[in-house]
Amino acid sequence: MNVTLLSDFGTRDGYVGALKGSLLRRAPGARLIDVSHDIAPGAIASGAFVLAQAAPHFPSGTVHLAVVDPGVGSERRAIACEIGGHHYVAPDNGLLTLVLDLGGTVRAHLISRSELWNSEVSPVFHGRDIFAPVAGHLAGGGRLEEVGPSIDPSTLVRLPEPEVRSLDAALVGEVVHVDRFGNLITNLRRQADERADMLVEAAGSTLQLRRAYADVPQGELLALVGSSGRVEIACNGASAAKVLGADVGSVVVLRTLGRS
């Protein structure tokens, strides 16, 4: 069984190793695939983006263990879901927002059966002691219903959607992820052919949507619809994040040309 792993743990410490070990104790034959452990600490929106970028490309039945959990030890729920034929184990903090948006049948269960967890549970490491064992349970052939009671999928926590500005009908969103190239990926969605009359405003710059990075000279900023279907701000051959001094959470406005 394929099991993907996503976290904000990094790789310099032993946290990822402990996560994997805890999972493999329940499912020794699982095939573990690292999606990313370089999500910025506590960056739920970034984790949601990376998870939704990777998960749909795995075979049906894959178990996805995702742990970006700044609320660990609080009253936030621990959940296991089946979404479009894949299983997800994660905190209920918005991390599954974008995979939920991909569509498909959703079944959601509260993780409450403590006999599936590690015998000792640290209040600050639920990834190792709760989420990983439950992911191992599912990867080993365990049923979703066995992790705890079902919950209404409509109650799952969602990240905020872009807002429509009443004055000019512009969409106001934000940067949700900065990739290793310094591209600023937003929560604003557009089709790849919706370019000609759209402007993107961020960090004091106004950019027209382009088709590809090479459509502007080297070192010039641009906006485009990336492979995720979301608006990105980039710099051909350089880091837009550094050029603009922008980061996750920076406000981005998408509006039609001629409106201000």
pLDDT of residue 170: 87
Please spell the DSSP secondary structure of 93-153, one letter per residue: SSTTHHHHTT-S-EEEEE---GGGS-SS--TT-HIIIIIHHHHHHHHTT--GGGGS-EE-G
Q: Considering the domain 2-155, what is its CATH architecture?
A: 3-Layer(aba) Sandwich (3.40)
Q: How far apart are CA 161 and CA 174, in angstroms?
A: 9
Domain boundaries, the chain: 2-155, 163-256
Q: Which CATH number fits domain 163-256: 1.10.760.10, 3.30.300.20, 1.10.10.10, 2.40.30.90?
A: 2.40.30.90
pLDDT of residue 259: 52
Q: Are 85 and 102 in contact (CB under 8 A)?
A: no
Using one digit for the tens of pLDDT, what is the confidence trace for 49-64?
A: 999 999 999 999 999 9
pLDDT of residue 231: 94
Q: How far apart are CA 219 and CA 222, in angstroms?
A: 10
Length of the chain: 260
As given in the structure block, the two tokens for residue 199 are 């402007």
pLDDT of residue 159: 94
Q: What is the mean pLDDT of the chain?
A: 93
Element (H, E) at 80: strand 78-83
List per-residue pLDDT tens for the chain, 260 residues long: 999 999 999 999 999 999 999 999 999 999 999 999 999 999 999 999 999 999 999 999 999 999 999 999 999 999 999 999 999 999 999 999 999 998 889 999 999 999 999 999 999 999 999 999 999 999 999 999 999 999 999 999 999 988 887 777 789 999 999 999 999 999 998 765 555 578 899 988 999 898 888 899 999 999 999 988 899 999 999 999 999 999 999 999 998 865 55
